[in-house]
Structure 1
């Protein structure tokens, strides 16, 4: 009896996560009501409060379900890249960050296509719904990779490194969110399904930007 109740509870939680992920990817956070989520999941509102505490808690859990394993893989790949103890290779560090999430969005068994659309939506969401997610899932991993990039590029100041990370992150985010458009724009010349090719091109592109030039930039005089 106890095992059946536990299994039912897990099933309810998964149905809520699947329903929320699907609707959030389709409509966005602001336009997705709790009523719509519970209706699609065939559960009552009390189930949301029981499993997640609130709509925000459910939203964070939707992202964390996919990003948690991705971030674990990122850290494992980074540890392997730095395992020899020598100065890490920039391309290897970047690949450790890029490859896991790129593999995810091409993996239908892990909900990759839906999550890709969800990531695209999240770029334009107002408010701070994902603040907790950033603090819990993203920031610790970014801190680890920032330290690794500092070791790769010791000639860059912290300010310059963060600018270049920001631009590189933008390239990754746009690729994740809009890669499906590339085949049409290129009239079939580019194959977005060539995952390893996408990863290699993106890593090479970002690495070139990270390493280019010096630190002297034009700034507005105060």
Structure 2
């Protein structure tokens, strides 16, 4: 790809990230992206095959931005003792609370997806998010009884990530009344400790068979 083409592609992505973060997928028109990026519509079709292709690329860029911020390394987690790995994973999940600039846009984009999921989300989850979920599931499985099903492990991993994402998605609201949370490094460390403690207690119940559904208790 030539340098002018790279510049055009970057300009489109930058404009799209800002607009999708502000307005969501449905509220953002191709015309608005074209105007903000100062390109013609043909450039979007050429580089991304239309609005949906562009948005899928934005989701990938946002997710990769999350992983870079979190320094996510599944192999490193495997080498840690399980309690230490759990806390490290949760700290990584809560790290975006301290993010600024571009990552703030990424947070808003995924917040929109929670309110109004787009058609591109399923394709994104299949191609980009599943390896991450698999790593989280592997981590949680270290705490579950040997007889736990794949579904139990995946649901536990999703629940664990959800406890963090609710804070990340709503961080601006939590800074305002009536919450008035002071979101700084110390707060994130305390929150990590709290979520870790709650998760360890819940996973211990699962391991002991107390949290499994009737007829599915661990032997």
Unaligned runs of 5+ in 2: none
* Structure 2 equivalent of residue 40 of structure 1: 36
* Structure 1 equivalent of residue 153 of structure 2: 161
CA separation of 1:25/1:47 partners in 2, compared to 1, >3 Å: closer, same or farther?
same
CA shift for structure 1 position 122: 1.2
CA separation of 1:161/1:14 partners in 2, compared to 1, >3 Å: closer, same or farther?
same
CA shift for structure 1 position 173: 2.2
* Structure 1 equivalent of residue 133 of structure 2: 142
CA separation of 1:81/1:163 partners in 2, compared to 1, >3 Å: closer, same or farther?
closer
* Structure 1 equivalent of residue 167 of structure 2: 175
Structure 1 segment 205-216 matched on structure 2, within 5 A: 205-212=198-205, 214-216=210-212
Give distance in 2, aligned partners of 1:52 and 1:204: 44
Give distance in 2, aligned partners of 1:139 and 1:53: 24
Normalised TM-score (structure 2): 0.79
Normalised TM-score (structure 1): 0.78
Checking the alignment, whether the CA contact within 8 Å between 1:120 and 1:176 is kept in structure 2 is no
CA shift for structure 1 position 186: 5.4
- Report how many aligned residue pairs link the two structures: 208
Give distance in 2, aligned partners of 1:14 and 1:204: 42
CA shift for structure 1 position 75: 4.7
- Aligned to 1:119, which of 110, 124, 136? 110
Give distance in 1, aligned partners of 2:137 and 2:124: 18
- Tell me how large the CA RMSD over aligned residues is: 2.8
Q: Please say if 1:53 is aligned against 2:49.
A: yes
Checking the alignment, whether the CA contact within 8 Å between 2:12 and 2:37 is kept in structure 1 is yes
Give distance in 2, aligned partners of 1:90 and 1:128: 37
Checking the alignment, whether the CA contact within 8 Å between 2:97 and 2:183 is kept in structure 1 is no
Checking the alignment, whether the CA contact within 8 Å between 1:117 and 1:177 is kept in structure 2 is yes
- Aligned to 1:103, which of 75, 95, 104? 95
* Structure 2 equivalent of residue 191 of structure 1: 182
Q: Deviations over 1:104-131 (max 9, x none)?
A: 453325x122222222111012442211
3-state secondary structure, aligned to 2:28: coil
